Structure 1
């Protein structure tokens, strides 16, 4: 249910039309606020958006969602996005000829136990070790020391090398975009708690059939328009200027407008430019500037329709690419393959055309066949795709020391790494904090 905004309702500006910003805006409008969203780009979605180049229309990186993404799915339903936009399947970690673990469609813990019974490339000691690891986490209620890395956690739980190589370390890099030797075990445990340890539906893979801009930001913008919100694209906000107890924005097309609250929902490295003029925010700016980052490289190869993977998603090891996605099996053009390399690695020091050739060769090895030349190839490297999810990393909260200035983004403090769900939860949490502050002011 949406509360219609009264004329005396607080005015809130949201700077950034990505997942966090749009989630915040939708939640604020639901609570009766008057909201304006400003996005500097022509395409909405922030770091999860559509890119059109060299004849290809693709996402700036291959993303997938999980059944455990409860807040994302709630808001998708609210703005009218139907579940049919996803290709959904049980969690399937498949390395052709080497390893396969598919969760069964059963309640926890049977989904994992039956999956392990059917697993390929695992002996009985490895199956027991996998169950023992989950029990190890459950015994600690998934609350791990803040200083622990994922590698140290795996050492403590005496996980076999094969499980580390094909299960835990790939899951760590895929979820946290941080190598296991550097990744936070506490955050990794949170991810496992809400997915693999929670049941088949929670660990279900949800691969969007449509691009990431159309998945949520664009439907959210339409919903905002129908419910009194305003969304501006190609409107770069360059400064937040105090105006008495309120704020005006340099770049706002309605120059006379004043806002009670401003939510900075940009990427963290853009947020600091907007926050720096406020003396009270100097420590916050320094902490954001200190955030470490990890890249994600995605190479799209458009082959003819004879090229098809044995599953919509397959793993690779020993080369550059870590995962291959067959977009033709999930609503995209037949023959479109996406190869993903998460986190830092030797690929960053190799010329782009050599990376693309290596990925083509690795795909031939995986499929055990010669492939025709790709009709088109597009490589997208997001050098600061996510923050590096390391132990004891200081992440800011949604509230700042400057009254009326708030943060939303996948980097703000929360239980999850920099994922779509993390961004959405940050946006919802920010909206709740703004609404709570407004209610206190009115009392």
Structure 2
């Protein structure tokens, strides 16, 4: 029986539609489970919303993505395709450094003890602020980091000291959920805090890419798949339909592709389009998402350095960026800095030129420069993530026998993160291989 099952698994042909991090995870996992894999990505490059644009010295990431120590599935996938996270990522303790002062920095040690020590040592906050934050955190822990699903982050944290909200809660919320605190789901935010701060030693460590995003996973995963006999195509799947032998995928080619099973790892918009006839209810639910954009403003200033590789910034109506990254300290491009505007819908409405000029003015006001900073490039992902709002009903992964979706937008406890995408892809591959 075991040999028969193994032979069946070896013969199984799995098509993965979408080459973002979810699709790459699904393709690698299915290949390792013995499937013959075909990966189809409509964009010229793999990586989805976490990839590099351009080549060589001119390459820029299409956004600044942060990993944390709790992202065990992403780190494991990187190791599997031959990437050493200790070389590809700069690992530091969780540290929220502003241009003019330090705030919360977590030391090593057992999670709750490290958190308590870090908060008590935060001299930027008054003792009343520190003790108030510890008191509320203890309450969250006592309730298992659960709350009323209808609460926003702003409502959940309204009783916290103002300085703690402004210095810590608001920037962490918009960084993790890409949704402003007034609109963001408190339940999802608490789950992120639980896993990041209290799931084990090192879980809260910041992992900042010290190379381009394409080198972090997409290109090594491509090489890994090709070395194991997988096919990688760049085309848009026009239609997906069931057939007596499994599934038929129609691309621009005259010859349709057939597969025993399909992992649908596209964006939610593409997934809704491809399933409109197959699963109309699922398609309608998936098409109903609202999105939050991210704008990345690249600024160059030869000879300049930020106070830390990642610096937090206070946003306001005319200062849009919440974080700045020194790409020189990240072993990428000295003199180049990326400023990130998360939850950027108001600035998309005002226009990318206005966002760039406001960010440049903010950088000049709050940071010290060795040479006059100037704009290098502005990138925008208008559908960077779904809007992670209270009570949001996300679609399930299972669609039909042999058809499973993968992506960070699917039902689950996490917001739209790389870890959520990877976990979803791994689970989808295991599902179609069962």
Where on the TM-score scale, by shorter chain, does this alignment land: which range? over 0.9
SS in 1 for 2:329: helix
- 1:307 aligned to which of 304, 307, 329: 304
Match of 1:56 in 2: 58
1:158-212 CA deviation, whole Å, 9 max, x = no partner? 2011111111111111100111111111111110111122345100010111211
Match of 1:266 in 2: 266
- For the pair 1:390 / 2:389, whether they are aligned, the reply is yes
| Unaligned stretches of 5+ residues in structure 2 | none
SS in 2 for 1:258: strand
- For the pair 1:244 / 2:241, whether they are aligned, the reply is no
Per the TM alignment, residue 114 of structure 1 is displaced from its structure 2 partner at its CA by 2.1
Per the TM alignment, residue 10 of structure 1 is displaced from its structure 2 partner at its CA by 1.7
Partners of 1:369 and 1:75 lie apart in 2 by 39
- For the pair 1:135 / 2:138, whether they are aligned, the reply is yes
SS in 1 for 2:97: strand
- For the pair 1:178 / 2:184, whether they are aligned, the reply is no
- 2:427 aligned to which of 402, 414, 429: 429
Match of 1:191 in 2: 192
- For the pair 1:112 / 2:115, whether they are aligned, the reply is yes
SS in 2 for 1:383: strand
Partners of 2:256 and 2:171 lie apart in 1 by 52
TM-score (norm 1): 0.91
Q: Which moved more, 1:355-364 or 1:377-386?
A: 355-364
| Unaligned stretches of 5+ residues in structure 1 | 437-443
Match of 2:127 in 1: 124
Partners of 2:226 and 2:254 lie apart in 1 by 17
Per the TM alignment, residue 410 of structure 1 is displaced from its structure 2 partner at its CA by 0.6
RMSD of the alignment, in Å?
2.1
The answer to whether the Cα contact below 8 Å between 1:14 and 1:35 also exists between their aligned partners in 2 is yes
SS in 1 for 2:427: helix
Match of 1:439 in 2: none
Partners of 2:67 and 2:170 lie apart in 1 by 19
1:268-287 CA deviation, whole Å, 9 max, x = no partner? 11112211132xx1111110
The answer to whether the Cα contact below 8 Å between 2:9 and 2:35 also exists between their aligned partners in 1 is no
Partners of 2:180 and 2:79 lie apart in 1 by 34
Match of 1:168 in 2: 169
1:311-330 CA deviation, whole Å, 9 max, x = no partner? 01111113111111101101
SS in 1 for 2:308: coil
SS in 2 for 1:271: helix
Partners of 2:307 and 2:361 lie apart in 1 by 17
Q: Report runs of 4+ in structure 1 exceeding 6 Å deviation.
A: none
Partners of 1:169 and 1:356 lie apart in 2 by 22
Partners of 2:360 and 2:288 lie apart in 1 by 37
Per the TM alignment, residue 407 of structure 1 is displaced from its structure 2 partner at its CA by 0.5
Match of 2:214 in 1: 213
Partners of 2:429 and 2:280 lie apart in 1 by 23
Match of 2:376 in 1: 377
Q: Which moved more, 1:320-329 or 1:342-351?
A: 342-351
Per the TM alignment, residue 254 of structure 1 is displaced from its structure 2 partner at its CA by 9.1
The answer to whether the Cα contact below 8 Å between 2:295 and 2:344 also exists between their aligned partners in 1 is no
Per the TM alignment, residue 150 of structure 1 is displaced from its structure 2 partner at its CA by 1.0
Per the TM alignment, residue 333 of structure 1 is displaced from its structure 2 partner at its CA by 0.7
Q: What is the aligned length?
A: 426
